[in-house]
Structure 1
């Protein structure tokens, strides 16, 4: 488990959902700097301006396609974990997104799973770094 707060970029169009995500992170002591973006330009700017520990992304953000966002991360930010946090897709489609390269999935109606998922993703990343 991370022992220090994390800098987290959140791709989310709903301020209310962003607040709920922040609350889960704060309860676990993981909330460091957390920024919400809701468009492709804002995402590019945020990635260029800050070194993030983790990215949480909604699947359905107007004007953005998660598969395109995933491609951006696979091409230029492969070491940056991208966790899908969505209430609009089911487990099967989320599983496909994980197979395509997303680091994990948390349904919005089960945000209590967010912190354990973050811990698992960061543990896997640490283990893969140790192997290289």
Structure 2
């Protein structure tokens, strides 16, 4: 990412302005064009989550909001936004617990060097998850269309054996699904009963 910039809309859960600027500056130095908002309470977080975000960075120990509480609020909103904890007080055991609860990564404030790499990876993986989700939704729609089609539809394997038939196939040919599946689809060996 050295010679290009990547726009990044970041929600930052942090109470220290200095730490926010260090994070934003680090990302800017590594090719991110960051637009961001800082929140430090549960109410501010809930309000901010009504907007679209590319990524969420969170400190773990804030005076009015703990990291696991923030993560719970984010996931309650059913948000598939990458969450990276950036903290100086997080231990290995806590970090593992947060990742099991849905955080994608954690970076220590005193070793922020891998933040840009983690950010790029999580943005890419979130994009891939969104593409898979969209493909699954499209597949469900296509499946529904095939099931409800008035025309006979059957699917064969590479050897010409029937693997699937829709309800219209059963109505139009007189063959039940379990009778048709496994049969050869060639016209002269598999004909309509009607």
- TM surpasses 0.5: yes
CA RMSD of aligned residues (A): 1.7
Instruction: Name the counterpart of 2:38.
Output: 36
Q: Say if 1:27 and 1:77 are closer, same or farther in 2 by CA, change over 3 A.
A: farther
Query: Aligned pairs, how many?
Result: 131
Instruction: Name the counterpart of 1:99.
Output: 100
Instruction: Name the counterpart of 2:55.
Output: 54
Instruction: Name the counterpart of 1:130.
Output: 131
In 1, are the aligned partners of 2:5 and 2:33 still within 8 Å (CA)?
Answer: no
- Once the two structures are superposed, residues 2-61 of structure 1 have per-residue CA deviations (whole angstroms, 9 ceiling, x without a partner) of 95210101000111111100111111221331111111122122222x321111000001
Instruction: Name the counterpart of 2:73.
Output: 72
Bigger Rg over Cα: 2
2:36 is paired with a residue of what secondary structure?
A: strand
Q: Displacement of 1:93 after TM fit?
A: 1.5
Q: Distance in 1 between matches of 2:27 and 2:127?
A: 20
TM-score by length of 1: 0.89
**Greater relative contact order (Cα 8 A, min sep 6): structure 1 or 2?**
1
Instruction: Name the counterpart of 2:117.
Output: 116
Q: Displacement of 1:128 after TM fit?
A: 2.5
Q: Displacement of 1:78 after TM fit?
A: 2.6
| 108-117 vs 39-48, greater mean Cα deviation | 39-48
TM-score by length of 2: 0.62
Instruction: Name the counterpart of 1:81.
Output: 82
Q: Is 1:14 aligned to 2:21, yes or no?
A: no
Q: Displacement of 1:66 after TM fit?
A: 1.5
